[in-house]
Chains A and B, each alone.
Chain A
Amino acid sequence: MTGLTVSEITKAFDGPPVLRGASLTVAEGDLTAVLGPSGCGKTTLLRVVAGFEHADSGSVRLGEWEVTGLPPEKRRVGIVPQEAALFPHLSVARNVGFGLARGGAERVAECLELVGLGGYGPRMPYELSGGQQQRVALARALAPRPRVVLLDEPFNALDRSLRGTVRDDVRAALKRAGATAVLVTHDQEEALSMADRVAVMRDGLIVQEGTPASVYEDPLDLGVATFVGEAVVLEAVSVQGMVSCALGRLAQRANGVAGRGTVALRPEQLVLSASGSPGVVERVEFFGHDAAVTVALDDGVVVRARTRAGAPHRQGDRVGVSVEGAVLFYPSAG
Chain B
Amino acid sequence: MRPFRSRRIPAGLLAPALVAAALSLAPVAYLAVRAAEGGPRAFADVLARARTAELAVRSLGLAATVTAACAVVGISLAWLVIRTDLPGRRVFGVLAALPLAVPSYVAAYTWVAAFPAISGFWGSALVLTLCTYPLVYLPVAAALRRMDPAMEEVALSLGRSRASVVLRQLRPAAAAGSLLVAMYALAEFGAVSIMRFDVFTTQIYTSYRAGFNRTPAAVLGLLLVLVTFLIVLAEARSRGRAAYALGGSTPRRASVVRLGPARTPALAWAAAVAVPAVGFPLGSIAFWLVEGSSRGVAAAELGAAVGATLGVSAAGALVTGALAVPVGIIAARHGSRTARFVEQAAYVGHALPGIVIALSLVFFAVRYAYPLYQRWPLLVLAYAVLFLPAAVGAVRASVLQSPPVLEEVARSLGRSPLGAIRQVTLPLALPGVLAGTALVFLTAMKELPATLLLRPTGLDTLATQLWTETGSGSYGAAAPYAALLMLLAAVPGFLLGMREVR
| Contacts from A to B (Cβ < 8 Å) | 43-44, 47, 50-52, 71-73, 75, 77-79, 81-83, 85, 87-89, 98-99, 140-141, 144, 146, 152
Q: A85 to chain B: which residues have CB within 8 Å? A: 403, 405-406, 409
B301 at the interface (CB under 8 A from A): no
B408 at the interface (CB under 8 A from A): yes
Q: B413 to chain A: which residues have CB within 8 Å? A: 73, 78, 98-99, 140-141, 144
Given contacts A43-B1, A52-B4, A152-B1, A78 and B406 within 8 Å (CB-CB): no
Nearest chain A CB to B411 CB, angstrom units = 4
B408 touches A87 (CB 8 A): no
The answer, among A44, A79, A89, A140, for a CB contact under 8 Å with B408, is A79
The answer, among A47, A79, A89, for a CB contact under 8 Å with B409, is A79
Given contacts A81-B1, A81-B405, A87 and B424 within 8 Å (CB-CB): yes
Which 4 pairs from chain A and chain B are nearest by CB? A99-B413, A72-B411, A85-B405, A79-B412
Chain B interface size band reads: 20 to 34
B225 at the interface (CB under 8 A from A): no
Q: B424 to chain A: which residues have CB within 8 Å? A: 87
Q: B417 to chain A: which residues have CB within 8 Å? A: 71
A144 touches B411 (CB 8 A): no
The answer, among B415, B416, B428, for a CB contact under 8 Å with A89, is B428
**Can you identify 11 A-B contacts, CB atoms within 8 angstroms?**
A44-B2, A52-B4, A72-B408, A72-B411, A78-B413, A79-B412, A89-B427, A140-B413, A141-B412, A144-B414, A152-B1
B1 touches A77 (CB 8 A): no
Q: A98 to chain B: which residues have CB within 8 Å? A: 410, 413
B409 touches A77 (CB 8 A): no
Q: Which of B387-441 contact A (CB under 8 A)?
A: 403, 405-406, 408-417, 419, 424, 427-428
Nearest chain A CB to B100 CB, angstrom units = 34
Given contacts A52-B4, A85-B405, A152-B1, A73 and B428 within 8 Å (CB-CB): no
| A72 and chain B: residue at smallest CB distance | B411
B428 touches A88 (CB 8 A): yes
A81 touches B408 (CB 8 A): yes
The answer, among B2, B4, B419, for a CB contact under 8 Å with A43, is B2
A77 touches B428 (CB 8 A): no
A73 touches B403 (CB 8 A): no
| B413 and chain A: residue at smallest CB distance | A99
B410 touches A77 (CB 8 A): no
A50 touches B412 (CB 8 A): yes
Q: Which of B167-214 contact A (CB under 8 A)?
A: none
| A74 and chain B: residue at smallest CB distance | B414
Kindly state the separation between the CA atoms of A17 and B7 in the bound complex, as whole angstroms: 18
Nearest chain B CB to A138 CB, angstrom units = 12
Q: A71 to chain B: which residues have CB within 8 Å? A: 411, 416-417
B2 touches A78 (CB 8 A): no
Kindly state the separation between the CA atoms of A98 and B406 in the bound complex, as whole angstroms: 12
Nearest chain A CB to B425 CB, angstrom units = 10
Q: A82 to chain B: which residues have CB within 8 Å? A: 1, 405
Given contacts A73-B416, A82-B1, A85-B403, A52 and B410 within 8 Å (CB-CB): no
Q: B416 to chain A: which residues have CB within 8 Å? A: 71, 73
Q: Which of B83-103 contact A (CB under 8 A)?
A: none
| A149 and chain B: residue at smallest CB distance | B412
| A76 and chain B: residue at smallest CB distance | B414
Q: B410 to chain A: which residues have CB within 8 Å? A: 87, 98
| A78 and chain B: residue at smallest CB distance | B412
Q: B419 to chain A: which residues have CB within 8 Å? A: 73
| B410 and chain A: residue at smallest CB distance | A98
A99 touches B405 (CB 8 A): no
Nearest chain A CB to B415 CB, angstrom units = 6
B4 touches A99 (CB 8 A): no
Kindly state the separation between the CA atoms of A83 and B409 in the bound complex, as whole angstroms: 12
Q: B411 to chain A: which residues have CB within 8 Å? A: 51-52, 71-73
Point out which of B4, B409, B410 has the most chain A C-beta atoms below 10 A from its C-beta. Answer: B409
Q: A81 to chain B: which residues have CB within 8 Å? A: 1, 405, 408-409
The answer, among A44, A73, A79, A83, for a CB contact under 8 Å with B414, is A73
Q: B414 to chain A: which residues have CB within 8 Å? A: 73, 99, 144
Kindly state the separation between the CA atoms of A247 and B408 in the bound complex, as whole angstroms: 53
Extra pairs beyond A72-B412, A99-B414 (14, CB < 8 Å):
A43-B2, A51-B411, A51-B412, A71-B411, A73-B415, A73-B416, A73-B419, A78-B413, A82-B1, A87-B424, A140-B413, A141-B412, A144-B413, A144-B414
Q: A141 to chain B: which residues have CB within 8 Å? A: 412-413
| B409 and chain A: residue at smallest CB distance | A85
Nearest chain A CB to B412 CB, angstrom units = 5
Nearest chain B CB to A85 CB, angstrom units = 5
Q: A140 to chain B: which residues have CB within 8 Å? A: 409, 413
Q: B428 to chain A: which residues have CB within 8 Å? A: 88-89
Q: Which of B143-167 contact A (CB under 8 A)?
A: none
Kindly state the separation between the CA atoms of A141 and B428 in the bound complex, as whole angstroms: 21
Kindly state the separation between the CA atoms of A88 and B408 in the bound complex, as whole angstroms: 14
Q: A77 to chain B: which residues have CB within 8 Å? A: 412
B2 touches A73 (CB 8 A): no
Kindly state the separation between the CA atoms of A319 and B55 in the bound complex, as whole angstroms: 97
Q: A50 to chain B: which residues have CB within 8 Å? A: 408, 412
Nearest chain A CB to B335 CB, angstrom units = 12
A interface footprint on B1-35 (CB within 8 Å = 1, 0 otherwise): 11010000000000000000000000000000000
Q: A44 to chain B: which residues have CB within 8 Å? A: 2
Kindly state the separation between the CA atoms of A89 and B406 in the bound complex, as whole angstroms: 11
Q: B1 to chain A: which residues have CB within 8 Å? A: 43, 81-82, 152
Nearest chain B CB to A147 CB, angstrom units = 12
Nearest chain B CB to A305 CB, angstrom units = 39
Nearest chain B CB to A151 CB, angstrom units = 12
| B2 and chain A: residue at smallest CB distance | A43
Q: B427 to chain A: which residues have CB within 8 Å? A: 89
Kindly state the separation between the CA atoms of A88 and B417 in the bound complex, as whole angstroms: 19
Point out which of B408, B415, B424, B428 has the most chain A C-beta atoms below 10 A from its C-beta. Answer: B408
Kindly state the separation between the CA atoms of A75 and B412 in the bound complex, as whole angstroms: 7
Kindly state the separation between the CA atoms of A47 and B412 in the bound complex, as whole angstroms: 11
Kindly state the separation between the CA atoms of A85 and B416 in the bound complex, as whole angstroms: 18
Kindly state the separation between the CA atoms of A78 and B409 in the bound complex, as whole angstroms: 8
Point out which of A52, A83, A99, A144 has the most chain B C-beta atoms below 10 A from its C-beta. Answer: A52
Q: A43 to chain B: which residues have CB within 8 Å? A: 1-2
Kindly state the separation between the CA atoms of A81 and B408 in the bound complex, as whole angstroms: 9
Q: B406 to chain A: which residues have CB within 8 Å? A: 85, 87
| B428 and chain A: residue at smallest CB distance | A89
